[in-house]
Amino acid sequence: MSTHPAHADLIDSSYAARRLFITLLLMTLGGSSMYVVSVVLPEVQKEFGISRADASLPYTLMMLGFGAGGLAMGKLADKWGVHVALWIGAVGVGSGFVLAGLSPNIWLFALAHGVLMGVFGSSSTFAPLLADTSMWWDKRRGIAVAVCASGNYVAGSIWPALAQQGVEALGWRETYVWIGVVCGLGMLALSFFMRQRPPLMATSAPGSVQQLASEKPFGLSINTAHALLCVAGVACCVAMAMPQVHIVAYCTDLGFGAARGSEMLSLMLACGIVSRLVSGVICDRIGGLRTLVLGSVLQGVALLMFLPFDGMVSLYVISALFGLFQGGIVPSYAIIVREYFPAQKVGVLVGAVIMATMIGMALGGWMSGKVFDLTGSYHAAFINGVLWNALNLSIAVFLLWRTQIKKKA
């Protein structure tokens, strides 16, 4: 048991800051599997002799597992504490990488990603940590959640380049084994610093003023409002997945090589760190819902820019802009849930929305590969992403409109 008392004065405290730093490290380690698989996609396709869509299957299953696992981990964290979810996650990430590295065929490789790295692994370091962080901060909640979520993009900026170097020096299989050992043991060690329960979970009770104020988010029922957020989450991430999953393969097809694509992916996600931090500051000023609208508009603009430009320099620039424009979208859902929904259910509600975003990433990754197989190019896949982004934006604008109606009522 932790020696820290579960007092409300721990909110916005130095302890909360130290916890946030540990959370950032956990997110960086746990998010590794989401990005390494994109780097090895061309090698896996070549070794197993499969199509681009089939080579995208491990990523698709991992995103589905990530989402489903996030919902389960959110429930577990609400009941037993986030550290218990992290213990399970450490075992899942470590064993998943090792098994994938030893896989004799695409099906075992895909299952290692979907079940071990997805359901039981990296899912423990996203939705549960976003929800947990939102409970430790009040005045600076937006930037705190943004810092936490940035760990996912820190992972994206670090692991692709490291994995590419590993593939070139050791091969993709041995690289996978080493990443599993480092990330699994690192997560396990850090999880022991996360045993303290959030203050609001200890002090709030059903029927409190805070909970009663959240019974009609956006002037809608909780189930309806939450369902709309989930659909928005699917839509934004179908669009988001196109560049993130396929930029390495896209560059390979254009003749620039996998190394240039890995650099673009790392650049995209490094800029996503900046985007998430800036979006966190913006969120503290204008709220999570308006931040979602802003991010959705900018992501749509960036996707449209991929259509007319396919030169190497252009792709570096657009990859950076895409990272800068879309980084604040997913964290804004955690802020919206915290602002409009009951605090006692924040873990499971955030988990469900994040599950929806992961379904979107999974669908978008597979769908883009399928469109490529059917058309022989990624042009139609980018158009598909733009249309899904428009759906996300329409829902966000509708919810914002509902808040204005509620204020006038």
Q: For the residues of 192-205, what is the DSSP string, one character each? A: TT--SPPHHHHH--
Interval 183-240: pLDDT, tens: 999 999 999 999 888 775 544 444 443 443 456 788 888 899 999 999 999 999 999 9
Quickly tell me which residue has 């409970």 as its tokens. Answer: 135
291 pLDDT tier (thresholds 50, 70, 90):
very high
d(CA 282, CA 299): 16
Interval 137-179: pLDDT, tens: 888 888 898 899 888 878 877 888 899 899 889 988 999 999 9
- pTM of full prediction above 0.85: no
Interval 327-349: pLDDT, tens: 889 889 988 988 888 777 777 88
pLDDT the model gives residue 214: 57
Burial of 354: CB neighbours in 10 Å, binned 0-12, 13-18, 19+: buried
d(CA 109, CA 125): 22
CB-based contact 4:196 (threshold 8 Å): yes
d(CA 271, CA 51): 31
CB-based contact 61:363 (threshold 8 Å): no
Cα dist from 62 to 36, 110, 235, 316, 337, whole Å:
12, 8, 18, 27, 24
- CATH classification number, 12-195+211-404, choose in 1.20.1250.20, 3.40.50.11740, 3.90.1150.10, 2.50.20.10: 1.20.1250.20
Structure tokens at 300: 């749509």
Domain boundaries, the chain: 12-195+211-404
Question: What would the 3-class secondary structure string for 374-397 be?
Answer: HHCCCHHHHHHHHHHHHHHHHHHH
